[in-house]
Amino acid sequence: MRDLTYPPVVLTAKTLFRLRGWRFSITGTEHVPRAGGAVLACNHIGYADFVFDGLAAQPAKRLVRFMAKKEAFDHPVGGPILRSMHHIPVDRSAGADSLDAAVDYCRRGEIVGIFPEATISRSYEIKDVKSGAVRIAAQAGVPLIPVVVFGTQRVTTKGHGLALPWRLPIAISVGPPMHPDGSDPDAQTAQMRDAMVRLLDETLQRYPDDPAGQWWAPARIGGTAPTPQEAQRLDTEERAARAARKAERDG
């Protein structure tokens, strides 16, 4: 694939990070293959996660093609940029098409990034995950690599606008590859989630800022973020409100 846009975007992002003095702690990058296809299964805690997840592949000199909701590609400015970077639109009404596209990318030697939680976790814990990452890796015959970021929610996330704090610490952890064969997608998806939970625990342990009383920290480590149960309730209420607004418009 020709990449005229992607490298300058990466360079611009890295320049911003340096100007703000952001402190990155990245482990496990040796697990990202230097050649051939792979799936990165990433947690989702902020709107800019894909920017930071891509850094996990930089030591291997690889670019990641992220799966993102179709609406992002409809944006008059962002859409052309996303397409030029060869990211993959996901139409939730025709999910099989995006899965097939991701499998094709992997078979052609590309790294595909996917957020198996589908939506942002308000608790900053690992939510329930969908089986798409496992199915893509199994069909393409490529490794599935769990990735966890923490700190990215402090840039922008649900309920919090854009912020560029000075010397922000961001932790990125890459786990050992898994090799799903598709024989039991549900069980292998559960194994993937377990790996992501363990990786998050390791990431939280090395995160340098004190979480006590902080909105960006999970409740179980002393933060004020919603618990997973509270976050699920908020998600349910948000979906119901969105459905009601759509029904009112359509009516």
Tokens representing residue 137 in the block: 């890796």
CA distance 96 to 46: 25
Q: Which helix (H) or strand (E) holds 140?
A: helix 132-140
Best CA proximity match to 56, nearest among 26, 24, 87, 96: 26
| Per-residue pLDDT of the chain in tens (251 residues, 90 and over written 9) | 889 999 999 999 999 999 999 999 999 999 999 999 999 999 999 999 999 999 999 999 999 999 988 888 888 888 999 999 999 999 876 668 899 999 999 999 999 999 999 999 999 999 999 999 999 999 999 999 999 999 999 999 999 999 999 999 999 999 999 999 999 999 999 999 999 999 999 999 999 999 999 999 999 999 999 999 999 999 999 999 988 898 888 87
Q: Give 41's strand partners.
A: 114, 146
Q: Are 65 and 86 in contact (CB under 8 A)?
A: yes
Taken in order of first residue, the domains within the chain and their CATH numbers are 6-250 (3.40.1130)
Task: Return the pLDDT at 248.
Answer: 85
**DSSP string of 179-221, one letter each residue:** ---SSSHHHHHHHHHHHHHHHHHHHHHH--S--TT-TTS-GGG
